[in-house]
Amino acid sequence: MIYRTLFVFVAIIALAACQPQKKEINYPKTDLVAAPLIPKPVKTIATQSAFGLDAQTAIYTSTNDPAFEAVGQFLSEKIKGKTGLDLAVNNTSDATVERLIFINQSDSTDLATPESYQLYIKKDSILLNAKTAEGAFRGIQTLRQLIPEQSNDTLTDHPLWVIPSGKIMDAPKYAYRGSMLDVSRHFFSVDEVKKYIDAMAYYKMNTLHLHLSDDQGWRIEIKSWPKLTEVGGATEVGGGEGGFYTQEDYKDLVAYAAKHHITIVPEIDMPGHTNAASVSYPFLNGNGKKVEPYTGTQVGFSTFDAQKDTVYSFLDDVIGEIAAMSPGPYFHIGGDESHVTKKSDYILFIEKVEKIVQKHGKRMVGWNEIAQAKIDPSTIAQLWSNPKDAENAAANGSKIIMSPAHKAYLDMQYDSLTKFGLHWASYIPVDVGYNWDPETIVENLPKESILGIEAPLWSETISNIAELEYLAFPRLIGYAELGWSPTEHLNWEDYKERLAKQAAYLEKMNINYYPSKLIDWKKD
């Protein structure tokens, strides 16, 4: 099959080369190594020539896997959005084709991970090799970033976008590169989350964690327990109207994320952070007080009753319904800040809920506190506060997601003048958010235990997409690089030059980024 597609590739190049009207283009000297790619690829070799993207360019893909064709279509849509060019995908009867982009499924052993890719850019062809459609999708993000904002209209009689030639060999450092949106404290719509996914995908992130429940709001429809959204979905911080995703909305988000090769990790936070659930169904409450809707920002006052069988029957339904709509491998159970749950109850609860998550075919993820329980080695701990928990979980065989609040929390203010956000963990200017190493931040954590990194965005202080984006951008872009690029490529001075050149993309996407003075923003 591979040989067949390669044969098609060679035949198309030969065909293109025979076009009588084809004129040599005198490309200017280019330097692929100097391209402002984020994340910085593992290996880049420049060959100083160029590929001219124009109306005579066509996209071909391996056709044995429909997911490769979908990647080709995605690239064509994005090229159209950026340049206006409408490039055909897998149309072998077009005789006007002069140059081609071939997205090839390859079994090369050099492609060591499912997300690895190789990009060969020559004068008449771009060849992208990947083992999986996921790898091909990461590779086309590199290609998108290499297309200049402006066409060159002097090299030939029509507009041409000059892409520097050379070779890129690339693969991610971590398998998990994510961000979290807290849609509970304030609700964000399906379209707003999709806009966030678009930007995550452009920077090769692969996981979106949705914090779907908290004291202030329950945001996902559960058919067997309708009051969760009827009652628990109607509140948010500050007294606004809240909101929730219907199951159709959630499935739409999951499908949109999947099209961008992004996995959704659903979180139902428990046994603390559960006031909205207990307002909906008071039998769940374990703190002995009358439950009332809550729209403030304190934490640590609510808990499920860990001693009641009915609580676990409820959770079996909730986890079952969400797991059935979530094709990804993970289910996040929160587990943080359960300050009014007795420690013995907390441990009992985590161990029982882990079994329910596993029964529904998922790997449990929880905030670092879950390491106090006897968790299964397949369970993943997410470090946010206590490094000792991460060490203990890793010693037990668990993998760790790195989200240390003082380095990776997107809701921490940039400085004391930032209008939104908090600073209980730290102020995090753009350079501080970039300048840390997930491998050394916890003293005794073997690097093999690190699954990856995630930048969470809590929403106590933000109530619309512009505020959300102001905190997330540009820091999210740095976390994308920390998760992907080899440690030896991580260099603030080099990064800030490449970051400066993201302004054109951010502005075109209408993303409201914080214009940090540390960066000399380049807008075209």
Contact set with ligand ACM (CB under 6 A): 336-337, 367, 384
User: Measured from the CB of residue 323, what is the shortest distance to ligand ACM in angstroms?
Assistant: 22
SS (HEC) of 70-120? HHHHHHHHHHHHHHCCCCCECCCCCCCCCEEEEEEECCCCCCCCCCCEEEE
The secondary structure of residue 186, as a DSSP letter, is: S
Closest CA to 301 of 265, 276, 333: 276
CA–CA distance, 142 with 261 (Å, rounded to integer) = 15
What would the two tokens of residue 309 be? 């069988």
Q: Which residue is nearest to ligand ACM (CB)?
A: 336
Q: CB-wise, 458 or 495, nearer to ligand ACM?
A: 458
State the nearest-atom distance from the C-beta of 186 to ligand ACM, in Å. Answer: 16
**Residue nearer to ligand ACM on the CB measure, 168 or 333:** 333
Q: For residues 134 and 215, which CB has a smaller minimum distance to ligand ACM in the complex? A: 215
Output the smallest distance, CB 331 to ligand ACM, in A: 16
Which of 69, 98, 267, 337 is the catalytic position?
337
CB of 384 to ligand ACM, least distance (A): 4
In the complex, minimum distance from the CB of residue 178 to ligand ACM, in angstroms, rounded to a whole number: 14
Closest distance of CB 389 from ligand ACM, Å: 11
Q: Least distance in Å: CB of 288 to ligand ACM?
A: 23
Of residues 336 and 481, the one with the C-beta less far from ligand ACM: 336
- Are 212 and 267 in contact, with CB atoms under 8 Å apart? yes
Which residue in 439, 440, 418 sits closest to 428, CA to CA? 418
With beta carbons less than 8 A apart as the criterion, state whether 475 and 455 touch: yes
Choice between 337 and 354, CB closer to ligand ACM: 337
Q: Measured from the CB of residue 275, what is the shortest distance to ligand ACM in angstroms?
A: 15
The tokens describing 321, both together, are 């319904």
337 is catalytic: yes
Q: Which is nearer to ligand ACM, 173 or 186 (CB)?
A: 186
- The answer to whether 433 and 381 have CB atoms below 8 angstroms apart is no
Tell me how far apart the alpha carbons of residues 441 and 458 are, in angstroms, rounded to a whole number. 22
Taking the least distance from each CB to ligand ACM, the nearer of 386 and 396 is 386
**Residue number, 46 or 212, with CB nearest to ligand ACM:** 212
In angstroms, the CA 413 to CA 423 distance is: 6
- Partnered with residue 160 across adjacent β-strands are 152
> Cβ of residue 439: shortest distance to ligand ACM, in angstroms?
21
**C-alpha radius of gyration, the chain, whole number:** 24
Distance CA 330, CA 323 (A): 9
Nearest to 83 by CA among 148, 33, 174: 148
DSSP-derived 3-state class of residue 277: helix
Toward ligand ACM, which CB reaches closer, 53 or 390?
Answer: 390
> What is the Cα–Cα distance from 344 to 338, expressed in whole angstroms?
12
**Cα-Cα-Cα-Cα dihedral of 359, 365, 367, 368, to 10°?**
100
> First-to-last CA distance in the chain?
43
Q: Are 137 and 203 in contact (CB under 8 A)?
A: no
Q: How far is the CB of 447 from ligand ACM (least distance, A)?
A: 23
Neighbours of 2 (CB within 10 A): 14
Report whether 501 contacts 40 (CB < 8 A).
no
* Residue 67 burial by Cβ neighbours in a 10 Å radius (0-12, 13-18, 19+): middle
CB 179 within 8 A of CB 410: yes
Parallel, antiparallel, or unpaired: how do β-strands 330-334 and 363-367 relate? Answer: parallel
**Closer Cβ to ligand ACM, 220 or 457, answer by number:** 457
Degrees to nearest 5, angle at CA 417 with 412 and 418: 40
CA–CA dist 226, 233 (Å, integer):
10
Cα dihedral 344, 347, 353, 355 sign: negative
Residues with a known catalytic role: 337
